[in-house]
Structure 1
Amino acid sequence: MAGPKKRPSAEWTRPLRDEVRVERSILRHAPADALTPRYRRGSFGPSSFDEAAMTVEAVISTYADVQRRDGRGSYVERLDPAGLDTSRLVGAPLLDGHRQGGSRDVIGVVQSLRHEPGRLVAVLRLSTADDAAPAVTRIREGVLRGVSVGYRVASWRESVESGQRVRTASAWAVFEVSAVPVPADPNANFRSSHVEEDDIQTVERSEAEPTVTETRAAIRGIGRAAGLPTTWADEQIDAESTVVEARAAAFEAMQTRSRTTPRIRTAAPEADPTIQRRAMADALATRSGVPLDDARAEAARPYLGHSLRDFARASLEARGHSTAGMAPDALFRAALHTTSDFPQLLTGAGRRTLLASYTAAASPLKTLARQGSRVDFRTGSALRLGEIGALHKVSESGELGHVTRSEAVESYALDTYGALFTISRKALINDDLGAFNDWASAAGQAAAQTEAALLWSLLAQSAGAGPLMSDAKRLFHADHGNLLTGAALSVEALSAARLAMRNQTGLDGKTRIAVTPKYLVVGPELETTAEKVLASIYAATTADVNPFSQKLTLLVEPRIMDDSWFVFADPATAPVLEYSYLSSAPGPQMSEREGWEVLSREFRVVLDFGAGALDWRGVVRNPGV
């Protein structure tokens, strides 16, 4: 049978009464009466708890230093109170232990806050929902005391103090508050009962020791509160640990666990590499003016102040590579030639910038065309089926007659267009991100201009007659009924164009298809005239009413250099032009590789694009005067 356990000479068992908190004042060589413990009577429940309003006051941060570790080694994380942004803190959620899995993890909300010397204090309104009741009860009883914050850092400031690396969050914002068993900031907690010095009393050493049953129950309670397995409590009971020793062992177990699990108090919840890379790419693209939605902007916020060097270091450290002491040249070499995500980060940011400028520079001619898709670069055909005309009357015997449909085939092929750009080693070291973003933006605009030029070339061929169609006639031809006599843009001229479209027949040459005009397309010279023609008129008489007011949409194509103008139908009902991308690569595509002839990174943009004319019935051209 195991002998009695020896207790440290300077340690006393804490009385197992909820209303007592012991403060030890022990001197190693003091007389016996000096070893008498002292305590202050007071409820564990926070005195700031308002039962009617369901609110409680808490110190949510004292800006205490916290020891951290990253790929470069250990460092001190420090929060600068002057850099705290509290604009979104009121209304932020109070979570149960930083869990963000769903609504059940929200146990309250930040109702108000105030700054006190050296600390940030908040009034928290607790939820009355049933699923929040266990956590709220522990807060009310004073069992759950710790408070922790989740925050995001927009910029860091690094320094060295007494040989220790210090990272100071110079711009940061709290986005949630949590009730936790052990906070990273030891002084962050729910405000406890006020204790007067006059309440101090003496506890005699002869006070009764707890029973074995009480000790075992207390140890199991400690294990549950600390989130430890039941086997831990069994081991403490088998070792005949006291309650004080069990508390110390639980604290050590929690410290060990915190060193091997993701930290709770952190600049932002750690994302997987793909999400982190996307957030960094968004931050890079934002510096070029690319807009982001609220969710992506919030994810990119911690990286907005990063330089290219910071991005390279973060990419390496995310893959477990140490960057301690690396010179800029060595840092970029490692980032570009290892398994880091830095090359993909640059490409991702470039694509965002490319697509944003490509979309913004899109020509109005794409609005007039239908989008198709091609699987390869061979000349493809666009088959158009004609109308079936009217339905035939069924004979008395119930026999149905067969009908035929006319067909027309137009064809075109895709071509490849591209450009190459190199970002030099010198530009990387100099953090010249602007050169890269400017090129990506220019490449997007060039891709949009390439598409617009190809679409316009279809309308401008043969002095404005357009391409040859399957009937061996040009797109705009008198026989097609879509080439009008030259006339200045006016309400009367528009009326003639609408009549020409209404009189169009289908492929069978008989069926009236009554095409409806939707777009008026002019060059810059006629823009003002077109706006006047289409302007709404509040007429005094019916004869003064503009029949085209709010019926046609004006599109201005800068490549129209004369007084000619066009009226187009909706491409969804009467397509005239069609454009296509390679199905595996829609729109401009960016890729990168390591520079071979020079120390650099090479980027290229490739566009697989083609366009052709499908039909003449959805457009009318007037050459103007």
Structure 2
Amino acid sequence: MPSKLNDEHYRNMSRDERMNIPRWRSAALGQFNEENRTVEMSFASETPCLDWWGDKEILRCNDEAMNTERFAAGVMPILFNHKRDAVVGKPTRIWTESGRAYAEIQFAQTEEAEKIMGLVKDGFIRGVSVGYRVNEWTLIEKGHKSEDGIEGPAWIATRWEVFEASIVTVPADASVGVGRSLPFPDDFENNIVPERSSGELKGGEKMSTDEKGKPTEEKRDANPTGVASAASPVNEDEIRAAAQRKERQRCTDINTLCDKFDIESEQRSKWINDGTNVETVNRELLEVLSTRNATRVSVKPEMGAAEEDKLRAAYRDGLALRSGIAIAKPADGAEKMRGMSQRDIARDILMRAGEKDVLQLNADELFVRAMSSSTYSDLLNATVKLSMSQGYAEVDTTFEAWTVEGTLSDFKTAYRYKLGGAQEPELIPENGEFTHAKLDKEKTAVQLGTDGIAWNYTRQLFINDDLDILAKFPYRIAAAFKRKINRLAYTALAGITYSSANGNLAAKAGVPSTETLSAARQLLRKQKDFSKKYSLNLNAKYLIIPSTYETTAEQLLRSLADPAGAHSGVANVFRNSLDIVVDTALDDINANAWYIAAAKNQVEGIEISYLNGNKTPILESKDSFDTLARSFRMYLDFGIAALDYRGFVKNTGK
């Protein structure tokens, strides 16, 4: 085994050697469960990250790709600081979900484990290092793409195995967190390094390489890396400790320089992830400072409006899908976005906008910074609007079938006029005058009102990644707007003056039947104009009933034979002659009364008026500095008026 696994050693590795080298990822512990002595972590995702050589590495996180044989066999310990004689627990579960890999750790009941568990419980230790090895690669060369759009050069691990996890006091790079992937610097012994496995190129062909990284068909030696066999005497702890000290010192020195000269996080991460030594960083830092201080016009690259709209649509649909809202055609990329938390999305938006030190922001700072971003604010608005629109469109209401729709341009009282006197036009004799219609006696007032509700998307909801206020709440509120209009329409229907004088109240009460429906239909046909001279011959179009009569009405209007007939040979004259409208709003008003109505616009009926024809709620939002939140409000301007009693006949029912 080499005495020092230095930068030069890694840089000179062939592609085949890189395939076989063990790797590790940093992760952070989740919430501690004191009762079960357990803690969870997410240690891998399918998000591309740079490996030590600067290539993208992607771990496929699904049950087929992740090999958990060591866990199943009970030989996967949980260590402390990678010390093999410091076993502090065991994994109780390892699983994949939504493109991420998770593990649950249970602490042992030993003195050493109790100490470590106490530090984890109190928040003094949060770091984890998970070791794994890749058994099968798919390589995407530069200029090529994978089937799911990953651009080369990239290394995709399609089969990999978790073999060790350690709770660590000092992660290699706390600023990177979950997703950083590097070679394992100190576990090259034979019991971890696997037999050489061939990789796959684009198209799936198998390959191997010679010492210079060129493809070859020849078999390589059984020990291609030159790593010593198990018989070689080595001090593993000493090598491990030295490598960790060196790596920590390198990262500390680079971070100190970057903090001193205000270097952007992207450049900082590149130096750290690429394994660049401090001497090289100092040299390149001079070039960065020289470029920064040069007198020139700085042009910041910006994302095009169309691309930004596509990205926002993907985030919006991803949040909606995650909250359970069905979308017929989600935007491209929405399925991948649905696994991201609100904080993940906020960080991504800020980083795309060129914001500095985004990864170092705590949850409170991230919320404030995100709320100042127009892109993130637009995303919140778009998500709420999508939820609102679907809630209003998908709610099951029935008033639209038999009411008429009107438009008003302001909130002043308006009037709907009806013709007085003889409605029929009169013959004009030669040189005679037109007869003026009388409009002053028959008119009905209509006026708009505004219904609305407000709510906040708060800092706590952002930190808790609670989507209800963004997705579910607007859906339900929009549905409530439409249900209220529906309820008020039926209230107006029931509130019309029904009387024998108006000729719109059935003389004989009873459930819908051939007899009662025939009598109601006759009353509707005999309705007269306002002069009381001429019959309007209105045809019944709708049977409007509470749910009390739903089955009775279905039998009455769908049966071939008259349900009231003495035998089946009596034809049902009402079969399919009326549209049945059933609504429980009538149950709440009067569960016995039912109505028939003429077709729309035969006479003035019940009108639902909207301001300038806008039938859907209006959404507005703004930042609320008083409550650390984004405030939303939803409102709708509408009015309901019963214009004419003559288009409806009522039967008080059983």
* TM value normalised by structure 2: 0.52
Residue aligning to 1:501? 524
Residue aligning to 2:336? 302
Aligned residue type for 2:504 = N
Aligned residue type for 1:605 = M
2:561–2:568: 8 Å Cα contact kept in structure 1?
Answer: no
Q: For 1:420-431, what aligned pairs fall within 5 Å after superposition?
A: 420-431=454-465
Residue aligning to 1:230? none
Residue aligning to 1:516? 539
Question: 2:475, 2:143 → 1: CA distance?
Answer: 50
In structure 2, which of residues 307, 315, 340 is the aligned counterpart of residue 272 of structure 1?
307
Q: For 1:114-513, what aligned pairs fall within 5 Å after superposition?
A: 118-119=137-138, 147-149=144-146, 151=148, 187-188=201-202, 271-294=306-329, 296-298=330-332, 300-322=334-356, 323-336=358-371, 338-384=372-418, 389=424, 407=439, 408-461=442-495, 466=496, 474=497, 476-489=498-511, 490-507=513-530, 509-513=532-536
2:47–2:58: 8 Å Cα contact kept in structure 1?
Answer: yes
Q: Which runs of 5+ in 1 are unaligned?
A: 1-63, 86-115, 122-144, 170-184, 198-259, 264-268, 467-473
CA spacing shift, 1:148–1:298, aligned 2, 3 Å: closer
Question: 2:536, 2:57 → 1: CA distance?
Answer: 74
Report Cα offsets for 1:516-546 as digits up to 9, x if no partner. Answer: 2222111232223222322323579785222
3-state secondary structure, aligned to 1:480? coil
2:138–2:201: 8 Å Cα contact kept in structure 1?
Answer: no
Q: Which runs of 5+ in 2 are unaligned?
A: 1-45, 65-134, 151-155, 158-170, 182-198, 206-214, 218-299
Matched, 1:599 2:628: yes
1:370–1:577: 8 Å Cα contact kept in structure 2?
Answer: yes
CA spacing shift, 1:282–1:373, aligned 2, 3 Å: farther
Shift of 1:119: 4.6
3-state secondary structure, aligned to 1:320? coil
Matched, 1:582 2:572: no
1:576–1:615: 8 Å Cα contact kept in structure 2?
Answer: yes
Question: 2:315, 2:627 → 1: CA distance?
Answer: 27
2:405–2:607: 8 Å Cα contact kept in structure 1?
Answer: yes
Shift of 1:339: 3.0
Shift of 1:567: 0.7
Shift of 1:303: 1.6
1:354–1:440: 8 Å Cα contact kept in structure 2?
Answer: yes
CA spacing shift, 1:594–1:624, aligned 2, 3 Å: same
Report Cα offsets for 1:25-53 as digits up to 9, x if no partner. Answer: xxxxxxxxxxxxxxxxxxxxxxxxxxxxx
3-state secondary structure, aligned to 2:486? helix
Aligned residue type for 1:559 = A
Question: 2:578, 2:516 → 1: CA distance?
Answer: 14
Question: 1:312, 1:329 → 2: CA distance?
Answer: 12
Question: 1:275, 1:575 → 2: CA distance?
Answer: 47
In structure 2, which of residues 639, 644, 649 is the aligned counterpart of residue 615 of structure 1?
644
Aligned residue type for 1:564 = A
2:323–2:471: 8 Å Cα contact kept in structure 1?
Answer: yes
Question: 1:494, 1:119 → 2: CA distance?
Answer: 74
CA spacing shift, 1:333–1:164, aligned 2, 3 Å: closer
CA spacing shift, 1:309–1:401, aligned 2, 3 Å: same
In structure 1, which of residues 66, 74, 78 is the aligned counterpart of residue 57 of structure 2?
78
Aligned residue type for 1:151 = D
Question: 1:78, 1:410 → 2: CA distance?
Answer: 72
Question: 2:647, 2:522 → 1: CA distance?
Answer: 12
**Percentage identity across aligned positions?**
25
Moved beyond 6 Å, runs of 4+: 64-69, 160-166, 260-263, 539-542
Question: 1:75, 1:593 → 2: CA distance?
Answer: 42
Shift of 1:335: 0.8
CA spacing shift, 1:65–1:447, aligned 2, 3 Å: closer
Question: 2:436, 2:499 → 1: CA distance?
Answer: 27
Residue aligning to 2:267? none
3-state secondary structure, aligned to 1:478? coil
Q: For 1:548-559, what aligned pairs fall within 5 Å after superposition?
A: 548-559=574-585
Question: 1:168, 1:553 → 2: CA distance?
Answer: 64
CA spacing shift, 1:519–1:324, aligned 2, 3 Å: same
Question: 1:481, 1:543 → 2: CA distance?
Answer: 34
Shift of 1:190: 11
Residue aligning to 1:180? none
1:521–1:565: 8 Å Cα contact kept in structure 2?
Answer: yes
Question: 1:430, 1:496 → 2: CA distance?
Answer: 62
CA spacing shift, 1:422–1:339, aligned 2, 3 Å: closer
1:77–1:168: 8 Å Cα contact kept in structure 2?
Answer: no
Shift of 1:558: 1.6
Question: 2:178, 2:415 → 1: CA distance?
Answer: 67
Report Cα offsets for 1:88-126 as digits up to 9, x if no partner. Answer: xxxxxxxxxxxxxxxxxxxxxxxxxxxx974599xxxxx
1:565–1:622: 8 Å Cα contact kept in structure 2?
Answer: yes
1:379–1:411: 8 Å Cα contact kept in structure 2?
Answer: yes
Report Cα offsets for 1:353-393 as digits up to 9, x if no partner. Answer: 2232333335322322111122211112224568974796x
Shift of 1:442: 3.0
* TM value normalised by structure 1: 0.54
Residue aligning to 2:262? none
Aligned residue type for 1:521 = I
CA spacing shift, 1:547–1:189, aligned 2, 3 Å: same
Question: 1:67, 1:164 → 2: CA distance?
Answer: 10
Aligned residue type for 1:557 = D
3-state secondary structure, aligned to 2:313? helix
Question: 1:149, 1:594 → 2: CA distance?
Answer: 42
Residue aligning to 2:596? 567
Report Cα offsets for 1:420-463 as digits up to 9, x if no partner. Answer: 222331121011113543422331232123212322332333xx
Report Cα offsets for 1:497-530 as digits up to 9, x if no partner. Answer: 1112222334554454332222211123222322
1:77–1:167: 8 Å Cα contact kept in structure 2?
Answer: no
How many pairs were matched up? 404
Question: 1:306, 1:196 → 2: CA distance?
Answer: 42
Question: 1:76, 1:405 → 2: CA distance?
Answer: 85
3-state secondary structure, aligned to 1:559? helix
Shift of 1:608: 1.5
CA spacing shift, 1:76–1:566, aligned 2, 3 Å: farther
CA spacing shift, 1:382–1:318, aligned 2, 3 Å: farther
1:147–1:190: 8 Å Cα contact kept in structure 2?
Answer: no
3-state secondary structure, aligned to 1:551? coil
Question: 2:522, 2:544 → 1: CA distance?
Answer: 17
Q: Provide the aligned C-alpha RMSD in A.
A: 4.7
Aligned residue type for 2:313 = R
1:285–1:350: 8 Å Cα contact kept in structure 2?
Answer: no
Aligned residue type for 1:492 = E
Question: 2:423, 2:334 → 1: CA distance?
Answer: 57
Shift of 1:565: 0.3
CA spacing shift, 1:372–1:279, aligned 2, 3 Å: farther
Residue aligning to 2:552? 529
CA spacing shift, 1:279–1:164, aligned 2, 3 Å: closer
2:409–2:611: 8 Å Cα contact kept in structure 1?
Answer: yes
Aligned residue type for 1:576 = G
1:76–1:166: 8 Å Cα contact kept in structure 2?
Answer: no
Shift of 1:81: 5.2
